Structure formats: structure tokens, C-alpha cells
Copies of this chain bind each other. A is one copy, B any other.
Amino acid sequence: MKERIVKSALNLFWRYGIRSVTMDDIAKDLGISKRTIYQHYSDKEAILKVVIQEELSTQQCEMAQLDEIGNPIDQMIEATDQMRVAMANMNPALIYDLKKYYPESWGLFQSHKDEFIIKGIRDNMHQGIAEGYYRADLDVDVLSLLRIQEFEIAFDPTVFPPDKFHMMRVQMQFVHHFLRGIMTEKGFAYYNTLKDKSVIEF
């Protein structure tokens, strides 16, 4: 039952954000009573935390698979593509609600960001420099933090209102602009052989 509750909550949060989903909605979705849910979880935020933890485990697992991709340019594009798939049907309100109203669950995301994502970006940049695909004069400390901020800006409805900008259009522009900003001629030569299959139009 716990697993079914988490799965239903995940679907509802993904579709409608967090604030507008109630315990009633989850009960209705599963065809069970609210009392049954409260036997397992004290409140919506308790379910939310499990949802987030499971989602982050999945992401960490997928990120680990990126290591098997040899070329750092492919790796950076694939990482964004993983995000595209993971968030294809996600309401941007989810991230916004999390940040604004659920600081503890947002904290889980922040730790994930600090431990896994920043490390992943830094490793990617160091590998790219070592292999001559990225410029040797890059300031990795500054630019890895820019890349992380780009993910967040793309989700910020005050900067990119969802009715004007599809979130993935923004993310794809960002990753390709970021890559072009760090590549050497060797990097561009490789990138230009790939480009057509990687740019997704929205």
C-alpha cells in the first residue's frame, strides 16, 4: 500500500504541482479512504519526502550510467536529455512549490545538487579539458556554478513564464550555449558531427 500511495502522489504532483494536490485527491485516485493513507503517512509532506527521495535515487542511478559514455560532450548532452525525459510531463509548479513551500523536501534536492550534480559537472569539465575538447583556460569553479544556476533559472516562472517559454526549450538552449562556450576547435569539430540529432526544437 505504501508503494501505491507514493506512486499515486508522484503522478499527481508531477501533473498538478504540490500545493493543489490534497490527501483527498490521492485517496480518490487510489479508490481508498483517507484513513488508510493516514495509517502510513502523517501528512502530505511525509509522502512528498518519500516521493522526492525515490526520484533522486533514480536520478543518481541514471547519472552513474553517464560515466559509461566516453566523450564528455556526449555526456553533457545526454545528462540534459535524461532530464528532458524525466521532466517531460512535469508541471513546472512542482519545483516552484517545493522551493517556496516545502523547505525540507527542497533541502533534499539541494543536497543532491551539491553532492552529485555539481560534482558531475566538475568531473565532466575536467575530463573535457584533459582530453582537449574543452578550453584549458576555463575557470571550472565559476562555470560549473553557472551551469547549475542555468538549470534553476529555466524553472523560474518569474524569468521564463511557462505560457511564453517551454521549459525544455530553455534547457536545450542553455546546454548547447554552455557547451559552445567551453569547447576548443577539437570540441567543435566533434560537436558539429552530432548537432543535428541532439538539438530538439520546441
- A-side residues, CB < 8 A to B, are 139, 141-143, 145-146, 149-150, 153, 159-160, 165, 169-170, 173-174, 177-182
- Whether the pair A142, B165 counts as a contact (CB closer than 8 A) is yes
**Assuming the A-B contacts A146-B150, A149-B159, A153-B146, are A177 and B182 also in contact, with contact meaning beta carbons closer than 8 angstroms in the complex?**
yes
Number of copies: 2
CA distance A179 to B159 in the complex (A): 21
Are B169 and A142 in contact, with the CB atoms below 8 A?
yes
Decide if A153 touches B149 in the complex (CB within 8 Å): yes
Cβ-closest 5 pairs across A and B = A181-B181, A177-B181, A142-B173, A180-B181, A139-B173
- Cα A150 to Cα B153 in complex, Å, equals 10
21 pairs, CB–CB < 8 Å, chain A vs chain B: A139-B173, A142-B170, A142-B173, A142-B174, A143-B173, A143-B177, A145-B159, A145-B160, A146-B150, A146-B153, A146-B173, A146-B174, A146-B177, A149-B153, A149-B159, A177-B178, A177-B182, A178-B181, A180-B180, A180-B181, A181-B181
Closest to A182 in B: B177
A171 — nearest CB in chain B belongs to which residue?
Answer: B142
In the bound complex, how far is the Cα of B178 from the Cα of A2, in angstroms? Answer: 47
Alpha-carbon distance between A153 and B150 when the two chains are bound, in angstroms: 10
Q: Which residues of B contact A142 (CB under 8 A)?
A: 160, 165, 169-170, 173-174
Nearest opposing residue in chain B for A135, CB measure: B180
Minimum distance in angstroms from A77 CB to a CB of chain B: 14
CB-defined contacts of A149 to chain B, threshold 8 Å: 149, 153, 159
